[in-house]
């Protein structure tokens, strides 16, 4: 039985949309989710605007099994994620004693400034997500996981998220490559893909050091089907007089 | 008068969501749009699924001035963007003579395979977007620009898109930096931001070689306001006994 668990990622931040900052969280989280048996099924990048955050959170939490957000949980005026996740759920944003304690511990102070206290304001009913890097926690509310935007912090929070999610069937992926244009193989790819349920084949052209070709990536939650499809694909490539290569994909 | 022109980017491709491929188009297109006076206001990354493409295209084209899509216009079975943009608009997908000519020219053949002919199938009423890199064109239909997913090809297509869009007011951006935690400046940032209409200040913490600090990025379509806000912000930072630095942001 194939069990699909699907997630959305909401990246919150003007700095990504203006091009000032390169997002590094999408790719990391995509691979992490794959390893957990969670299919990342949509990503949205939205600005630091209250209503946009609320709408995106509510649309995604009603559509996907899990929702991850990154960004906007720091101490300054443009950090408005927590309050708008609270609003999306219709709950209050409260000073959270445990979060306050974590901040005081990490900052080595018994007297937090008003700005830093913002980072201890957590929606009512949420469960904290540990931040071993810089103390200020994320949180889980319903099926929504609110994480930091700074990649090293976001990555450290995922370690704690692993205790809070249940993945489905893991997708297995294998690929073979040809050094000819992908268009020659279009019919073959369709045939092989149509032979197996739950199986997809992606075709990704590459140009590398003067030679070009394509990688065919076969993916399915049923590992045996992936092996059979790779074999069938290889046979069909040979049958038309072409060669294929396996191993690491050319970039 | 400030004129805002807003755009959405739809990145179509399983390979981005699985983590196999790092997207490189978001950041490039964000900066390009900024230079054109277009605010990139939302990005969605969606899988190669017909209905998902149609829904995203229709939601975005009704909400934003311009919509850009990347990916899914190659010759293989997983390249389904063109047919689903056509469906989203309720128009037919037709063999386009000029597109066919461009492909024949670029591939040096008078006899295109069925797979390659897919790349000359263009929605009825669309205008071609030139692809100086590999021939196969993108297209513009209404306010939607359908571009290739391979970064170098996408970038070359934007040169032609520049002739087809009208930007609004360009956003000017200047920044100053401090080598203290951003939380100390939270109140100042709010005050300065609230002094000017259309002006936003982003606060971005950094950690670099053992020292940490924050960059404050002031953005507005009114350049004079940006200068005045930077001056006011600098004064307020000095008033609290801190130092600031301008120039390039630490990464």
Tell me the per-residue pLDDT of A87-105, one tens digit each, with 9 for 90 and over: 999 999 999 999 999 999 9
For the record, the structure tokens of A217 come out as 């990536």
Task: Mutate one of A40, A78, A171, A236 to test the B interface: name it (highest B CB count within 10 A).
Answer: A78
pLDDT, greater one: A250 or A53: A53
Residue A248 has pLDDT above 90, yes or no: no
Asked whether residue B12 carries a pLDDT value surpassing 60, the answer given is yes
Residue owning tokens 């930077």: B230
Q: How high does pLDDT run on average in chain B?
A: 93
In the structure, what pLDDT confidence band is assigned to residue A76 with cuts at 50, 70 and 90?
very high
Q: How many angstroms away from the CA of B95 is the closest CA of chain A?
A: 17
Contact call for A186 and B18, based on CB within 8 A: no
**In the predicted model, what is the mean pLDDT of residues B176-188?**
92
pLDDT at B110: 75
Nearest to A182 among B33, B76, B202 (CB): B76
Shortest distance, CA A160 to any CA of chain B (angstroms)? 21
Q: Is the pLDDT of residue A251 over 60?
A: no
Strand partners, B246: B176
Q: Which residues of A touch B6 (CB under 8 A)?
A: none
User: How many whole angstroms from its chain centre is CA B106?
Assistant: 28
**Arithmetic mean of pLDDT, A191-198:** 95
**Does pLDDT of B7 surpass 90?**
yes
Q: What is the mean pLDDT of residues A3-19?
A: 96
**Among A194, A213, A4, which residue's Cα sits nearest to residue B78?**
A194
Rounded to an integer, what distance in angstroms lies between the CA atom of residue A161 and that of residue A155?
A: 10
Contact A19 B31 (CB under 8 A): yes
Q: How far apart are CA B66 and CA B166, in angstroms?
A: 10
Q: For residue range B159-168, what is the model confidence (pLDDT) as tens digits?
A: 999 999 999 9
B205 to A74: CB separation less than 8 angstroms, yes or no: yes
- Per-residue confidence (pLDDT) for residue A249, from 0 to 100: 61
Q: Residue A74 CA to chain centroid, in angstroms?
A: 21
pLDDT at A200 over 90: yes
Q: What is the pLDDT, as a whole number, of residue B114? A: 86
Residues 87-116 of A with CB under 8 A from B: 113-116
Nearest to B23 among A26, A190, A200 (CB): A26
As a whole-number percent, the residues of chain B with pLDDT over 70 amount to 97
Of B224, B222, B244, nearest to B233 by C-alpha is: B244
Mean pLDDT of A170-197: 94
Tell me, what's the pLDDT at A1?
78
Tell me whether 0.90 is exceeded by the ipTM. Answer: yes
More confident residue, A153 or B1: A153
Identify the structural domains of chain A with CATH numbers, from first to last: 6-161 (3.40.980.10), 172-239 (3.30.70.600)
Predicted local confidence at residue B112, as pLDDT: 83
A115 and B27 within 8 Å at the Cβ level: the answer is no
Give residue A75's Cα distance to chain centre. 25
Q: How confident is the model at residue A108 (pLDDT cuts 50, 70, 90)?
A: confident
- Asked if B4 and B66 touch (Cβ cutoff 8 Å), the reply is no
Per-residue pLDDT tens over the stretch B191-209: 999 999 999 999 988 877 6
pLDDT tops 80 at residue A154? yes
Rounded average pLDDT over A112-120:
90
Q: What is the DSSP letter of A73?
A: -
- Residue B65 neighbours by CB under 8 Å, 6+ apart: B5, B6, B7, B38, B143
For residue B16, CA distances in Å to A64, A214, B97, B136, B138 come to: 18, 16, 32, 22, 20
Q: For residue A150, is pLDDT > 70?
A: yes
Chain B, window 177-196: residues with a beta carbon less than 8 angstroms from a chain A beta carbon:
181-187, 189-190, 193
For residue B33, which residues of chain A lie inside 8 Å, CB to CB? 19
Residue B248: pLDDT over 70: no
Mean pLDDT of B10-14: 97
pLDDT band at B113 (very low <50, low <70, confident <90, very high): confident
Cβ of B173 within 8 Å of Cβ of A27? The answer is no
Report the percentage of chain A scoring pLDDT > 70. 97
């Amino acid at each position: 039985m194939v069990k699909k668990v699907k997630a959305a990622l909401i990246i919150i931040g003007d700095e990504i949309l203006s091009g000032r900052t390169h997002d590094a969280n999408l790719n990391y989280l995509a691979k992490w989710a794959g390893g957990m048996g969670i299919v990342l099924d949509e990503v949205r990048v939205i600005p630091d605007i209250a209503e946009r955050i609320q709408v995106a959170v509510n649309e995604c939490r009603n559509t996907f099994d899990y929702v991850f957000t990154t960004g906007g949980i720091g101490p300054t005026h443009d950090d408005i994620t927590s309050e708008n996740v609270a609003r999306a759920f219709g709950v209050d944003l409260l000073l959270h004693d445990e979060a306050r304690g974590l901040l005081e511990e990490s900052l080595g102070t018994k007297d937090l400034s008003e700005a830093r206290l913002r980072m201890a304001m957590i929606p009512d009913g949420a469960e904290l997500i540990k931040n071993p890097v810089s103390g200020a926690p994320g949180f889980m509310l319903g099926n929504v996981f609110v994480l930091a935007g700074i990649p090293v912090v976001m990555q450290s929070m995922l370690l704690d998220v692993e205790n809070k999610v249940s993945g489905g069937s893991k997708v297995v992926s294998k690929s073979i490559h040809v050094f000819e244009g992908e268009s020659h193989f279009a019919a073959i790819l369709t045939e092989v893909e149509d032979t197996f349920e739950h199986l997809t084949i992606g075709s990704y052209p590459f140009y590398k050091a003067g030679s070009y070709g394509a990688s065919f990536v076969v993916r399915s939650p049923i590992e045996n089907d992936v092996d059979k499809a790779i074999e069938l694909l290889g046979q069909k490539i040979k049958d038309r007089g072409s060669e294929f290569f396996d191993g690491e994909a050319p970039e």
